[in-house]
Structure 1
Amino acid sequence: MTTTAPAADSRVLALAHYAARGVLEQVLVRHGVTFQQQVALRAAVTADAPQTPDDLVTQVQGSLKSDTAGIRATLDELLAARLLVTDGPHLRPTDAGRELLAAVGAETAPVTARIWGGIPAADLAAAGRVLALVTERANAELVAPTG
């Protein structure tokens, strides 16, 4: 398929994000998990050290820019679903939580390969650099004083 590439801007970025997220959410709904739950669970599973609820809230808030009360509610949902468990001051993923992420990964892998496959490495590297810069600048705007 040959198309004229649009210039990268906020709209193009948003369209790509929501298209890819839509694909993921089709898989997540089959497992009874929301996008935010998956992000929080992944943060717990991939952490190098046990995480407190505050640690996970900070990580998820940094990724999704969502409100802390909503993230805390998400952690409570994961605890209620026994995908996370309290271990002293920490929250740890359960075997069921790890298995869920593995199942979601296995289901999304072939779709991800189709979506990303065939894109030249140089294009991916250039897009990665641009997106990293956009993320850095947007994060700086979020903490900049308004006025």
Structure 2
Amino acid sequence: MVYVGTGQGAESYADRLRGFTEGVAATGVEGVHLEQADGLFGSGATVVFAEELADGAAIAEIARTRGLDVPRDLSIVALGARTRPVSTDIDFAGFRIPRREMGRRAVELLTQVLEHGGVPQELLACELVEGSTLAPVHDER
């Protein structure tokens, strides 16, 4: 498994990399962090977690030009929503982030802080999007 992205800067990037790192440690699978996709195709990885949708689209295009089929040869999970311009019609596996609910809850929590003090934090669940880019490893043995 490979995580492609900086894993730093925006809090969401750091959270995604931390989740990937904790997940591979908890399951005992091998996981590698690459800031860019340069070393991905020689790594032997069968699944890549792309920090953003645009990264996933670029990786899918590179895989296609190398004769690889997504998801038969390489599964791609896009961890973020469309934040940069990207031209793709691929239905990526990933997670839907509840952005409106986050904004609504942020206003409510800020109001509570102004009235009562404290430093509240609330985590909201992301919805799994099955998409078409995730499949079991193809074994030609």
Higher strand share: 2
Question: Which structure's residues are more often helix, by fraction?
Answer: 1
Compare relative contact order (CA 8 Å, sep 6+) and give the higher one, 1 or 2. 2
